């Protein structure tokens, strides 16, 4: 067993000593991170703060993994082709390695020993985690809750079978469940779900959606009553449920869901889905953001979900799944008792200390731009590999994180993948052009380093390439940039960029094809 | 009187195996197969063959 040095664990960026923030404490009402304690009940925050799927901040420090133990499904969605993984959470067009419960448990323990950032294990497919009697899902969770009790467990489901399992899940100490809800009106649902299998029968048409809707709402209420947190995923399908998702947002909020995650439809004829074949398009970046902004209200919206592969392993955009295939983990010498618990504990303590400092320095940076209240926000793209720092080279970035910056702070609003999914596909796309399209609505891109050529093309496209904040914290840098930008705008040395939209990249998370 | 699985269309999801009331479906050599001796086409048990009703690939068909 090789030992990871703490340096490499913590080497998310060069650790620079933070200048001590002005001892002013918290001056604005929205203290802390956008999903910190200020807008979430303390007991909920306690449950989600280290969950990389639910807290944006935790996304930077903690890793998640999915194990693909549930290949069967009990409904058909028009954005899904069952030859591939479920498109609810995973990227469509991906095939994950299916595992038995026994293989999954070994895989989790092997990963936990290698990657101390690991804090959550989920089951999101490749089909529905609760279909076909939920046998593999429950068996996997039963064993993990005994062998590695410090790791959080969560699952995703379409909700059809959920009411049958809530009691069971309670006993397994699972505190997070994700339900994919795309409609609260069967009239809308019939255009999304051609059929469901329920109570020993295949249902079609409006009846199918009516049953699915009732089961989803019942399941959600049962979760609330059982004290299990519920997150809702919705797939935004322009022309079918885009405006309707406002109703979904209202209904799920009323039933106690704590997060709502709106994801773009990914639709490509090559995936062979109904929507792909009929030319149903997905939303543009601007359409997606506009809907997310409208839904936000006082309920947290989750914007960092990457629709990972159902067997993804890692931090942020990374996927180390290939190092832990079933074949490899069955050969590894796995510590079946806790899987490197001490190392994880050390890492967690370190991160807690760093995050406490961060809340103070963010508040100080916000105080610096307080005089700019009311000015227009800007979008900034950031190349990062975690730790809330600008620590990735432009050319190595597989995705960019998008921050919206105004006088109230720098808020994470989404990420744009730029990895080329389609190897040997449409080869006419050049990499740089793709990146520019993906972040075209931003005024700047923050990187640790960038070459002269891409810099020039970015400038021509009206995106300022910025490397002067290399290895600094993202939010503080974004605020400093915002102050400069607005000063330059008012002095007339730069012109405002108006009306640009960006393209949402299609395809699987990594360029590797299974 | 039995159903069979069209191997080429099967996605190997196992949904049918979980629904069969007679344990007629099993996983053999990388694919799911129906044992024609055990399969009753679900007659007397359900209105429709369960495997065909749940199969996403519509590949459980009359043998
Ligand atoms: S699919 Fe979304 S919710 Fe699941 S691990 Fe990835 S980012 Fe988190
Ligand atoms: S028809 Fe019924 S009995 Fe026959 S294999 Fe299918 S589910 Fe089993
Ligand atoms: S339900 Fe259909 S696709 Fe799935 S394993 Fe059975 S026959 Fe194959």
Q: Which of B13, B50, B54 sits opposite A71 (nearest CB)?
A: B13
**Domain locations in chain B as residue ranges:** 3-62
Question: Distance (Å, rounded) from C-alpha A158 to C-alpha A173?
Answer: 20
- Which of B2, B24, B55 to mutate to test ligand 2, by most ligand atoms within 8 A of the CB atom? B24
Could you report the per-residue pLDDT of A425-461, keeping only the tens digit for each? 343 346 788 888 889 889 999 999 998 888 998 999 8
**Interval A379-385 mean pLDDT:** 90
Q: Whose CA is nearest to atom 8 of ligand 2?
A: B20
Q: Answer whether B47 sits within 8 Å of A74, measured CB to CB.
A: no
Nearest ligand 1 atom to alpha carbon A178: 3
Ligand nearest to the CA of B63: 2
Q: At residue A11, what are phi and psi to the nearest 5 degrees?
A: -75, 50
- Is the CB–ligand 2 distance for residue B50 below 6 Å? yes
- Which residues from B are below 8 Å from A197, CB to CB? 15, 19, 53-54
Q: Hey, which residues 178-237 in chain A have their CB within 8 Å of chain B? A: 197, 200-202
Q: How far is B48 from chain A (nearest CA, A)?
A: 7
- Which residues from A are below 8 Å from B57, CB to CB? 82-83
Identify the DSSP state of A88.
T
Question: Distance (Å, rounded) from C-alpha A391 to C-alpha A259?
Answer: 29
**Interval A376-400 mean pLDDT:** 86
Residue numbers of chain B with a pLDDT score lower than 50:
none
- Is the CB–ligand 3 distance for residue B32 below 6 Å? yes
Q: Distance, CA B56 to ligand 3 centroid (Å)? A: 7
Q: What are the structural domains of chain A?
A: 18-331 (3.20.20.70), 373-491 (3.30.420.130)
Question: CA A222, A228, A229, A233 torsion: positive or negative?
Answer: negative
pTM, full prediction: 0.75
Q: Answer whether A82 sits within 8 Å of B18, measured CB to CB.
A: no
User: Which residues, including other chains, have CB under 8 Å from residue A441's CB and lie 6 or more apart?
Assistant: A285, A286, A379, A500, A501, A502
Q: Domain B3-62, what fold?
A: Alpha-Beta Plaits (3.30.70)
**Interval A62-70 mean pLDDT:** 84
For residue B15, which of B32, B28, B35 has the smallest C-alpha distance? B32
Question: Distance (Å, rounded) from C-alpha A448 to C-alpha A212?
Answer: 48
H helical segments located in A172-204: 186-189
Q: Which residue has the tokens 């640009």?
A: A500
Q: Please name the residue of chain A whose CA is at the shortest distance from the CA of residue B57.
A: A82
Could you report the per-residue pLDDT of A303-345, keeping only the tens digit for each? 655 555 556 676 655 667 777 777 777 777 766 666 677 778 8
Q: Binning pLDDT at 50, 70 and 90, where does residue A53 land?
A: low
- Which of A92, A124, A310, A508 to mutate to test ligand 1, by most ligand atoms within 8 A of the CB atom? A124
Could you report the per-residue pLDDT of A117-147, keeping only the tens digit for each? 888 888 887 889 999 899 999 999 999 988 8
User: Which residues, including other chains, have CB under 8 Å from residue A76's CB and lie 6 or more apart?
Assistant: A82, A193, A194, A195, A196, B56
Q: Answer whether A73 sits within 8 Å of B15, measured CB to CB.
A: yes
Question: Distance (Å, rounded) from C-alpha A10 to C-alpha A223?
Answer: 37
Q: Give the H or E element holding residue A314.
A: strand A313-314
Could you report the per-residue pLDDT of A415-435, keeping only the tens digit for each? 787 764 333 334 334 678 888
Question: Distance (Å, rounded) from C-alpha B16 to C-alpha B13?
Answer: 8
Walk across the sheet containing A75-76 and list its strands: A75-76, A195-198, A201-204
**Interval A34-63 mean pLDDT:** 65
Token readout for A452 is 């002269």
Q: Answer whether A132 sits within 8 Å of B46, measured CB to CB.
A: no
Q: Answer whether B14 sits within 8 Å of A71, measured CB to CB.
A: yes
Token readout for A385 is 């590999």
Q: Answer whether B54 sits within 8 Å of A76, measured CB to CB.
A: no
ipTM of the prediction: 0.93
What is the maximum span of chain B, computed from C-alpha positions, in angstroms?
31
**Interval A233-237 mean pLDDT:** 92
Pairing of strands A63-66, A313-314: antiparallel
């Amino acid at each position: 067993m090789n030992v990871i040095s703490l340096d490499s664990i913590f080497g998310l960026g060069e650790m620079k000593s933070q200048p001590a923030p002005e001892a002013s404490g918290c001056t604005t009402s929205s203290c802390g991170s956008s999903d910190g304690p200020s807008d979430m009940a303390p007991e909920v925050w306690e449950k989600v703060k280290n969950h990389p799927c639910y807290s944006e901040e935790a996304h930077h420090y903690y890793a998640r993994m999915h194990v693909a133990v549930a290949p069967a499904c009990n409904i058909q969605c028009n954005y899904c082709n069952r030859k591939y993984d479920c498109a609810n959470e995973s990227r469509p067009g991906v095939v994950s390695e299916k595992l038995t419960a026994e293989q999954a448990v070994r895989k989790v323990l092997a990963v936990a020993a290698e990657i101390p950032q690991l804090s959550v294990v989920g089951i999101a497919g490749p089909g529905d985690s609760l279909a076909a009697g939920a046998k593999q899902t429950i068996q996997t969770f039963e064993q993990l809750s005994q062998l590695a009790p410090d790791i959080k467990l969560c699952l995703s489901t379409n909700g059809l079978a959920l009411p049958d399992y809530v009691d069971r899940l309670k006993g397994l100490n699972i505190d997070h469940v994700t339900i994919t809800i795309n409609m609260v009106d069967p009239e809308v649902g019939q255009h999304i779900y051609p059929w469901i299998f329920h109570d020993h029968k295949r249902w079609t048409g409006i009846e199918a959606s009516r049953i699915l809707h009732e089961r989803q709402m019942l399941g959600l209420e049962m979760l609330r009553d059982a004290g299990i947190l519920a997150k809702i995923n919705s797939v935004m399908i322009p022309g079918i449920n885009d405006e309707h998702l406002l109703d979904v947002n209202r209904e799920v909020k009323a039933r106690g869901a704590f997060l709502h995650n709106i994801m773009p439809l990914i639709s490509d004829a090559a995936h062979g889905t109904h929507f792909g074949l009929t030319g149903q398009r997905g939303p543009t970046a601007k359409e997606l953001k506009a809907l997310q902004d409208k839904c936000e209200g006082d309920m947290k919206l989750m914007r960092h979900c990457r629709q990972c592969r159902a067997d993804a392993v890692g931090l942020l955009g990374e996927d180390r799944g290939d190092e832990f295939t079933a074949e490899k983990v069955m050969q590894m010498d796995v510590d079946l008792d806790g899987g490197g618990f001490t190392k994880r504990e050390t890492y967690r303590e370190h991160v807690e200390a760093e995050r406490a400092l961060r809340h103070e320095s963010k508040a100080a940076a916000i105080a610096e731009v307080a005089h700019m209240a009311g000015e227009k926000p800007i979008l900034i793209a950031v190349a990062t590999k975690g730790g809330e720092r600008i620590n990735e080279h432009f050319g190595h970035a597989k995705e960019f994180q998008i921050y919206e910056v105004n006088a109230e702070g720098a808020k994470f609003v989404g990420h744009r993948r730029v990895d080329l999914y389609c190897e040997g596909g449409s080869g006419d796309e050049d990499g740089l052009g793709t990146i520019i399209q993906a972040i075209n609505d931003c005024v700047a891109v923050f990187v640790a380093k960038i070459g002269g050529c891409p810099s020039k093309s970015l400038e021509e496209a009206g995106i300022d390439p910025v490397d002067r904040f290399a290895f600094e914290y993202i939010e503080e840098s974004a605020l400093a940039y915002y102050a400069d930008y607005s000063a330059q705008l008012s002095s007339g040395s730069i012109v405002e960029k108006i009306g640009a939209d960006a393209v949402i990249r299609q395809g699987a998370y990594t360029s590797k094809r299974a | 009187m039995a159903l069979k699985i069209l191997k080429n269309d099967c996605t190997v999801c196992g949904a049918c195996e979980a629904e069969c009331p007679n344990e007629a479906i099993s996983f053999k050599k990388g694919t799911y197969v129906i044992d024609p001796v055990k399969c009753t086409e679900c007659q007397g048990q359900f209105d429709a063959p369960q495997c065909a009703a749940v199969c996403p690939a519509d590949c459980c068909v009359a043998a």
